Every structure is written in C-alpha cells, then in structure tokens.
C-alpha cells in the first residue's frame, strides 16, 4: 500500500511538474522560397449554383514566375474552378475555395503542372491567404517538384482595374 502511494505520488508529481514546465513545441519545418508568381486572370465565368456550391471559373490567361529555384512563364491553359459557399451567397470575400490547375513552362523549356487548392481564411481582403501547392512533371531536371510539400501565399489579390493581376509567393516546406 505504501509503495502504491509512493508510485502514485511520483506519477502525480511528474505530471504536475511537466504541466508547470509546459509542453515543449517540436521544431517546426522551415520554408524555402521557390518563386514569386504573377497571374493574369480573365473575367470570371459564373457557372452558378449546383450540387457542390456556387461554381465560378476564372481563366488564367498568362503570367510569370521567378525565383531561386523556378522561373519561366505561365501557359494560357489553366483556370481556377472555384466554389463559393451558398450560405454566404455570391460574395467571394465571404467564402472562396480555390481549385486551380495550370501549367508552368520553365525558362529552360520544361513543363510543370501546378495545382493550387485552399479556402479563404478571412473575409478581410487585406489579410493574406494560404493555399496548398502540388507540382507534377516528367522532366528529369525538375523531378524533385513531384514530392515537394508546397505552400502558396496570396500577396496581392486580384482587383478590377489592375487587369486582374494576382500575386503569390511559393514556398517549399522542408525538415
Ligand atoms: C508582377 O506584378 C506587379 C504588379 O502588377 C508588377 O509591378 C511586377 O513588375 C510584376 N513582375 C513581373 C516579373 O512580371
Ligand atoms: C497577359 O495577358 C494580358 C491579357 O490578354 C495581356 O495584356 C498581357 O500583355 C499578357 N502578358 C504576357 C506576359 O503575355
């Protein structure tokens, strides 16, 4: 009985002391810059309210990307097949789920398919938005992009009167 009490006391005190010291956060992965991106977007095409939400197709007309690991131009064969939440109506500032496919052509003539996806995190247009990035290629030179864990930050949201230019930064998460 005595040893049980002692054990319970040890367990309790160790729990108590770790609670006092707090739980240490593990070291977070780092982010390495891949490139800055300028997208030129076309007029949004309102597909309308369907079984999955309010669909809006935003064509990607062209663009450029430049950075330490990737640079080149964006081909005019992509779009954002975006969804709005019917709960908030047609206001893209209230809810917006991006679903982008587009193609990058690198300065040295290789092709990389890009997917971007993510939800608007705030209805404050000045706040930056994070999106997930996936990349796919058969190019030997850029084969490393197939396994990257990518994060995009929208730094300049598209605004009318600026030819629908949208700016982003692409980052690669690394351990
Ligand atoms: C990207 O877009 C911004 C804003 O329109 C512009 O100032 C900048 O020159 C563009 N950069 C490139 C490399 O196209
Ligand atoms: C991108 O497309 C827009 C609209 O068609 C055009 O004004 C602009 O010059 C194009 N930019 C590039 C880099 O091709």
What is the per-residue pLDDT across 103-123, written as a single tens digit (0 to 9) for each?
A: 999 999 999 999 999 988 876
pTM for the predicted model, two decimal places: 0.82
Provide φ and ψ at 3, rounded to 5°. -65, -35
**Closest listed residue to residue 117, CA positions, set 103, 133, 128, 129:** 133
Q: Which DSSP helix (H) or strand (E) runs through 65?
A: strand 53-66
Query: Is 82:57 a contact under the CB 8 Å cutoff?
Result: yes
pLDDT tens by residue, 9-62:
444 444 444 455 788 889 999 999 999 999 999 998 999 999 999 999 999 999
Nearest-atom index, ligand 2, CA of 61: 2
Quick check: CB of 73 below 6 Å from ligand 1?
Answer: no
The reply to whether ligand 1 has any atom less than 6 angstroms from the CB of 165 is yes
Condensed to tens digits (0 to 9), the pLDDT of residues 72-112 reads 999 999 999 999 988 887 777 778 899 999 999 999 999 99
Q: Cβ(38) to ligand 1 under 6 A?
A: yes
Q: So where are the chain's domains?
A: 26-174
Q: Does the CB atom of residue 64 touch ligand 1 within 6 A?
A: yes
Instruction: State how far Cα 98 lies from the chain centre.
Output: 9
Does the pLDDT of residue 5 top 50, yes or no? no
The secondary element (H helix, E strand) that includes residue 8 is helix 2-21
Topology (CATH level 3) of domain 26-174: Porin (2.40.160)
Q: Which residue do the tokens 């064969």 mark?
A: 77
């Amino acid at each position: 009985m005595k040893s049980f009490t002692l054990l319970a006391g040890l367990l309790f005190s160790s729990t108590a002391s770790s609670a006092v010291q707090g739980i240490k956060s593990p070291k977070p992965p780092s982010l390495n810059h891949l490139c800055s991106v300028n997208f030129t977007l076309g007029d949004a095409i309102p597909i309308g309210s369907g079984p999955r939400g309010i669909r809006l197709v935003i064509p990607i007309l062209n663009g450029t990307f430049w950075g330490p690991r990737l640079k080149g131009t964006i081909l005019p064969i992509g779009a954002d097949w975006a969804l709005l939440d019917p709960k908030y109506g047609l206001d893209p500032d209230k809810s917006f789920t991006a679903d982008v496919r587009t193609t990058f052509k690198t300065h040295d003539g290789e092709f990389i398919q890009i997917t971007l996806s993510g939800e608007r995190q705030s209805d404050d247009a000045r706040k930056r938005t994070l999106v997930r990035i996936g990349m796919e290629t058969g190019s030997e030179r850029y084969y490393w992009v197939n396994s990257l864990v990518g994060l995009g930050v929208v730094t300049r949201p598209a605004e009318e009167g600026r030819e629908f230019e949208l700016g982003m930064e692409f980052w690669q998460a690394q351990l």
